[in-house]
Amino acid sequence: MNWILVFEVAYVIVLILVCLRIIYDTTAITKTLAYLLVAIFIPFGGMLFYFSFGINYRKRRVYSKKLIEDDGLRKALEARLISRTEQNLKTHEGVVGDAESLVRLLLNDSWSPLTVGNRVRLLTNGEEKFPEVISALRSARHHIHLEYYIYEDDHIGNRIKEILIAKAREGVKVRLIYDDFGSRSIRGKLVADLKAAGVEAHPFNVVRLLFLANRLNYRNHRKIIIVDGQTGFVGGINISDRYDNTSDGERDFYWRDAHMRIDGEGIHYLQYLFFCDWNFCSGEKMEPDACYFAGQPQPDANEVVQIAASGPDSPTSTIMLSLLNAIHLAKKEILLTTPYFIPGESIINALRVAALGGVSVRILAPGISDSRFVNAAAWSFYGDLLHAGVEIFLYQKGFIHAKTMVVDGYISVVGTANMDYRSFDLNFEVNAIVYGEAIGRQLRDTFNMDLMFAEEITYQNWEKRPLYKQLSERIARLLAPLL
């Protein structure tokens, strides 16, 4: 018997089955083609890569977001969210402006309500965020909920640990969700110390074999803190010394980031997300109780807030759709800051359409990056955007990690989601959207200040790059859907 022939036939049969699985399981055309190329042209390794990183958990649902089992109660709550949002749309029509379609998209797609009477504060870098967080944690009387992609066993991580331990000993209910991959440095002693003091802590999506973990892609990239159901934090800043440029810890470069503090009903959906993720991690069946949703409209506060969140548990990429909708709403200006820019054709074309239609589109991206390959893939998109009139600036002071967008000065987005496939399809993400000119003005001013440390690239100069660079970027672009 010719065993080599048998082996080759068996391999072809397996390859065909894997290709059929990829076609059936992967919805995005570009991603499907990329996985097919990898499987076909990299013997064995390509198939292993797909089964390690490519399984579509959006189709297979990592877990259910159904918090309330009683159908009648759930329908009553949904009806209340719709009624409240409609009421807030009427009373704040002048603030929401032309963004009513965006409000309804988030309401209909994920039941995220439009909330009013919030107090919002933008926080730049860890040096502004961490003092605010520490103050809020120390003021806790009922509960503290934290959910983080990266929680480091370093100075700020241990400082917050000691506060959580002290609050737990006072009788405050403290719960922590940490991503098992991003926060791997705290798996041992830090988490053990928290648990010994009464803090409940659970890893998200436990990773046992990193090199074979098909869930390595499906990480919890959210950064959420909720205190007493009244105060919340959301944005791009993890719990790590690297985000505080005044700390004594070692750093490769200056870290530029953005976060947001919200006081009021705007944090209710953040609390809902935490409950969903907590039930998944802990195996508990916590249902939303009124004491966890105590946030009320703040005196003399008038910020209008809505939350956009999505992940492999969502039937659609809510965050991507919300960003796409916001871009289409632009009439004058789009200011976009992102550390990773591999957004896919829909976002690219929307930005080109906006620029060609006379909208001023400015993108601030890293000149210094923590991933050369990702940067190369991002650069492959710049030529088409520059040709359409989009202005692109590369930040030079350090690494810009902020994920923000301002549309026409009144739609402001601050969150955890990058402009890339990973944030849109593979990770659990959350963005806060603020409607109104006050926060929009602050974000625009911050964007313009960041431009002082950035270099603009022009279409003429970009096209003069050496051919080997252009080729390497094109190759990186082929693999962009897999990054």
pLDDT tens, 120-152?
A: 999 999 999 999 999 999 999 999 999 999 999
State residue 139 phi and psi, 5-degree precision. Answer: -85, -5
Structure tokens at 68: 């309330």
Q: Is the pLDDT of residue 76 over 90?
A: no
For 364-436, where are the alpha helices, taking DSSP H only? Answer: 372-388, 421
On whether the CB atoms of residues 318 and 430 are closer than 8 A, the answer is no
Higher pLDDT, 54 or 198: 198
Q: Are residues 78 and 47 in the same domain?
A: no
**What does the DSSP 8-state code read for residue 239?**
B
pLDDT the model gives residue 212: 44
- State yes or no: is 223 an active-site residue: yes
Domain boundary among 255, 276, 303: 303
Q: What is the dihedral of CA 332, 338, 342, 345, to 10 degrees?
A: -20
Average pLDDT score over the chain: 86
Q: Is 113 exposed, middle or buried (0-12, 13-18, 19+ CB in 10 A)?
A: buried
On whether the CB atoms of residues 281 and 275 are closer than 8 A, the answer is no
Q: Is the pLDDT of residue 211 over 60?
A: no
Higher pLDDT, 478 or 191: 191
Structural domain includes residue 311: no
Q: Are residues 46 and 124 in the same domain?
A: no
Q: Are residues 243 and 160 in the same domain?
A: yes
Q: Are residues 16 and 77 in the same domain?
A: no
Q: Is the pLDDT of residue 213 over 50?
A: no
Higher pLDDT, 258 or 21: 258
pLDDT the model gives residue 113: 95
- Report pLDDT digits (tens) over 156-165: 999 999 999 9
Q: Are residues 17 and 141 in the same domain?
A: no
Q: Please identify which of the residues 202, 401, 420, 450 carries the catalytic annotation.
A: 401
Q: How many CB atoms lie within 10 A of CB 211?
A: 7
Q: Give the Cα separation of 429 and 235 in Å (integer).
A: 10
Higher pLDDT, 75 or 390: 390
Q: Give the Cα separation of 170 and 164 in Å (integer).
A: 10
Q: Is the pLDDT of residue 107 over 80?
A: yes
pLDDT the model gives residue 339: 93
Any bridge partners for residue 179, and if so which? 204
- State yes or no: is 228 an active-site residue: yes
Among 436, 361, 354, smallest CA distance to 120 is for 436
Q: Are residues 76 and 38 in the same domain?
A: no
Q: Please identify which of the residues 92, 145, 161, 223 carries the catalytic annotation.
A: 223
Q: Are residues 412 and 368 in the same domain?
A: yes
- State yes or no: is 401 an active-site residue: yes
Q: Read off the amino acid at residue 322.
A: S
Query: Considering the chain, what percentage of its residues have pLDDT values greater than 70?
Result: 83
Residue range of the domain that includes 13: 3-55
pLDDT the model gives residue 277: 92
Q: Please identify which of the residues 153, 228, 263, 450 carries the catalytic annotation.
A: 228
Structural domain includes residue 101: no
Structural domain includes residue 102: no
Question: Which of 81-95, 216-230, 457-471 bottoms out in mean pLDDT, i.e. has the lowest?
Answer: 457-471
Q: Are residues 80 and 153 in the same domain?
A: yes
Confidence of residue 6 (pLDDT cuts 50, 70, 90): low
The CATH number given to whatever domain includes residue 447 is: 3.30.870.10
pTM to 2 decimals? Answer: 0.88
Q: Is 9 exposed, middle or buried (0-12, 13-18, 19+ CB in 10 A)?
A: exposed
Structural domain includes residue 106: no
- State yes or no: is 145 an active-site residue: no
- Report pLDDT digits (tens) over 395-415: 999 999 999 999 999 999 999
Domain boundary among 278, 303, 328: 303
For 330-430, where are the alpha helices, taking DSSP H only? Answer: 345-356, 372-388, 421
Q: Read off the amino acid at residue 67.
A: L
> What average pLDDT does the segment 290-296 reach?
79
Confidence of residue 186 (pLDDT cuts 50, 70, 90): very high
For the chain, the first-to-last Cα distance in angstroms comes to 43
Structural domain includes residue 108: no
pLDDT the model gives residue 349: 95
> What average pLDDT does the segment 246-273 reach?
87
Q: Is the pLDDT of residue 274 over 80?
A: yes
Higher pLDDT, 479 or 256: 256
Q: Give the Cα separation of 26 and 24 in Å (integer).
A: 6
Question: Which residues, 6 or more positions from 335, have their beta carbon under 8 angstroms from its beta carbon?
Answer: 362, 364, 404, 405, 406, 443, 444, 447
Q: Please identify which of the residues 145, 161, 221, 268 carries the catalytic annotation.
A: 221
Q: At what angle do helices 125-138 and 155-169 cross, to 10 degrees?
A: 10
- What does 248-294 look like in DSSP terms, one character per residue? SS--SSEEE-EEEEEESGGGHHHHHHHHHHHHHHH-------GGG--
> What average pLDDT does the segment 101-114 reach?
94
Q: Please identify which of the residues 153, 154, 408, 450 carries the catalytic annotation.
A: 408
Strand extents, DSSP E, 149-242 = 173-179, 200-204, 223-227, 231-235
Q: Is the pLDDT of residue 30 over 70?
A: no
State residue 465 phi and psi, 5-degree precision. Answer: -60, 150
Q: Are residues 221 and 264 in the same domain?
A: yes
Q: Are residues 80 and 221 in the same domain?
A: yes
Among 427, 438, 200, 402, smallest CA distance to 305 is for 438
> What average pLDDT does the segment 338-366 reach?
94
* β-bridge pairing 454-457 and 419-420: unpaired
Q: Are residues 253 and 328 in the same domain?
A: no
Q: Give the Cα separation of 437 and 289 in Å (integer).
A: 34
> What average pLDDT does the segment 82-105 reach?
92
Structural domain includes residue 100: no
Structural domain includes residue 98: no
Q: Is the pLDDT of residue 202 over 80?
A: yes
pLDDT the model gives residue 353: 97
Confidence of residue 227 (pLDDT cuts 50, 70, 90): very high
Q: Please identify which of the residues 403, 420, 425, 450 carries the catalytic annotation.
A: 403
Domain boundary among 243, 271, 303: 303
Any bridge partners for residue 457, and if so which? 392
Structural domain includes residue 60: no
3-state helix, strand, coil in the chain (%, to 5): 50, 20, 30
Q: Is 297 helix (H, G, I), strand (E, B) or coil?
A: coil
pLDDT the model gives residue 158: 97
Q: Are residues 223 and 299 in the same domain?
A: yes
> What average pLDDT does the segment 285-303 reach?
80
Domain count, the chain: 3
Question: Which of 66-75, 82-91, 374-383, 456-465 bottoms out in mean pLDDT, i.e. has the lowest?
Answer: 66-75
